[in-house]
Amino acid sequence: MRVSFVSDRPDSGGVVVLPVFERLETFGGARNTVDALGDRFTQAARAANFTGRKGQGFDIYAPEGLQAARLCFAGCGDPDRFDVEIFAANATKSLLETRDPTLMFHLGGFGQSADSCARAAVGARLAAYRFDTHKTQLESEKRIAIKTIKIACDEPGKAQASYDNFHGPVCDGQIFARDLVNEPPNILFPKAYAERIKTLSSPGLTVEVLGEEKMTYLGMNALLGVGVGSERESQLVVMKWEGGKKDDRPVALIGKGVTFDTGGISLKPGANMWDMKGDMGGSAAVVGAMHALSARKAKANVIGIVGLVENMPDGKAQIPGDIVTSMSGQTIEVQNTDAEGRLVLADALHYAQAEYEPQAMINLATLTGAIIISLGHEYAGVFCNDDNLAKQIELASETSTEKSWRLPLAPEYDKLLDSPNADMKNIGGHAAGSITAAQFLQRFVKDTPWAHIDVAGTAMKNKRHDPRETTFGTGYGVRLLNHWIADNYER
């Protein structure tokens, strides 16, 4: 989808969306269009019972003397409470059936910043996202025809720069992440996933893939154990973006990439098991973020590491009670093969610290069903060993609109992981499932400031109400990670 920002002139071709606030207040190009319509506007508004209240709307088709094919007047209520991104997303959602290739928004004359106008384009793009590559019978009328988004605004040059240099590439990364989560497990298995990551090689982004041989040599038996029941080879993919100063220590982003989680020998029930194609949502956020960082040439050094495995039951599969030695040297009694994400991350976290000595690291994972019990599908759960980092994440969450909420870590929870047979077991029992999972990860973190974000509820959703979320895979995390890096590590 092409996105361009233009000055707020009254008239344009295509489908034109005009915000109208309470008492029929309009601004900028929308004001000019309303003036050009004269009585026609007031009459149509009266006929449609339109007062400008939020959620109301009416259309005028083929307006006489104007270039537009269709004018869509959208009630926006109080201008002080206007959210431009949600506005653009809602308008786009209601116009998806349009056959016109051009969709234009009038956003001038009421104090919308260049940054906000760039976000409007993001709202529109996210709302127009579909995953229909595997639909062969889709009638052409059902395919989205919108090709160009035009935003008419006060500072088009600045808005274009904000979009090209930040919001556009971040949105590309989020859409890339959505595609990864939505792909089925027979198409996106570990090797195929690693291949897809290689296609991201934008200049300056390097991708290194470690196969089972290399991981065996390194002693990553916690990660490898998860994949031994699978016919498909496990992979560890390391992405490196060096946009910062030469001797700045990097930050590390680490993702759980279980391309399918059957539970292994601790097999999951059949109902809804298909959702476990999304058990790589944490890794998708990391890959999408690395794409965004490189595409917008972020001035920071960032390492992205994703552990890609398929968790299957098999004659060779890991057995409950098995004891594995992780790369850190710590031994783990695998009491439940369905608590596999933490095994993958244990080695990925250790490797990140041993190899790159990051100044801070964040891992994302669809780690526990319990986080959905705690926070539903709205907020991701944050666990953090450093109050300053937790604060940074809270702020990045606000600016990115990707909601998160901090939950505790404490020695009392850590104790629940003690095992009579090994250094630890991989489950903590019924209580506080998301916290004991986080405590498990913390055992593989030394003194690096670290956060774990449990995205089981936010990376994949079967029911959605935010107009920007259109498919199972949401791409959650790409925006949050980008703001975190932009606000704290770029200079």
Instruction: Confirm whether 9 is a catalytic residue.
Output: no
**Of the residues 31, 178, 342, 461, which is catalytic?**
342
Structure tokens at 88: 């653009």
Pick from 8, 179, 183, 261 the residue near Mn ion by CB under 5 A.
Answer: 261
Pick from 8, 154, 155, 279 the residue near Zn ion by CB under 5 A.
Answer: 279
Closest to Mn ion by CB, 121 vs 441, is 441
For residue 320, the minimal CB distance to Mn ion (Å) is: 13
Helices (H), 183-315: 190-198, 212-218, 221-227, 281-295
Ranges assigned E (strand) in 262-350: 301-311, 322-325, 331-334
**Of the residues 53, 130, 268, 299, which is catalytic?**
268
Stretch that binds Zn ion, among 52-60, 71-79, 257-265, 418-426 (CB under 5 A): 257-265
Instruction: Confirm whether 268 is a catalytic residue.
Output: yes
Buried residues in 412-445 as b, exposed as e (16+ CB within 10 A): ebbebbeeeebbbbbbbeeebbbbbbbbbbbbbb
Structure tokens at 267: 């097999």
HEC sequence for 38-56: CHHHHHHHHHCCCCCCCCC
Stretch that binds Zn ion, among 171-179, 196-204, 213-221, 252-260 (CB under 5 A): 252-260
Cα 83 off chain centre by: 20
Tell me the one-letter amino acid at 127: A
Stretch that binds Mn ion, among 91-99, 134-142, 253-261, 414-422 (CB under 5 A): 253-261
- What is the distance between the alpha carbons of residues 381 and 415, in angstroms, rounded to a whole number? 21
Q: Residue numbers of the site for ligand BES (CB under 6 A)?
A: 261, 279, 336, 338-341, 366, 368-370, 427, 433, 456
For residue 394, the minimal CB distance to ligand BES (Å) is: 23
Closest to ligand BES by CB, 215 vs 427, is 427
Structure tokens at 315: 């004659």
Site string for Mn ion, 320-359 (x = CB under 5 A): ------------------x-x-------------------
- What is the distance between the alpha carbons of residues 300 and 313, in angstroms, rounded to a whole number? 41
Site string for Mn ion, 282-321 (x = CB under 5 A): ----------------------------------------
Pick from 63, 169, 243, 341 the residue near Zn ion by CB under 5 A.
Answer: 341
User: From the list ligand BES, Zn ion, Mn ion, none, which binds 454 (C-beta under 5 to 8 Å, kind-based)?
Assistant: none
Site string for Mn ion, 202-241 (x = CB under 5 A): ----------------------------------------
For residue 188, the minimal CB distance to ligand BES (Å) is: 15
- What is the distance between the alpha carbons of residues 347 and 254, in angstroms, rounded to a whole number? 11
Going by C-alpha positions, the residue among 2, 275, 5 that lies closest to residue 128 is 2
Going by C-alpha positions, the residue among 106, 78, 102, 286 that lies closest to residue 200 is 286
The set of catalytic residues is 268, 342
Residues near Mn ion (CB under 5 A) are: 261, 338, 340
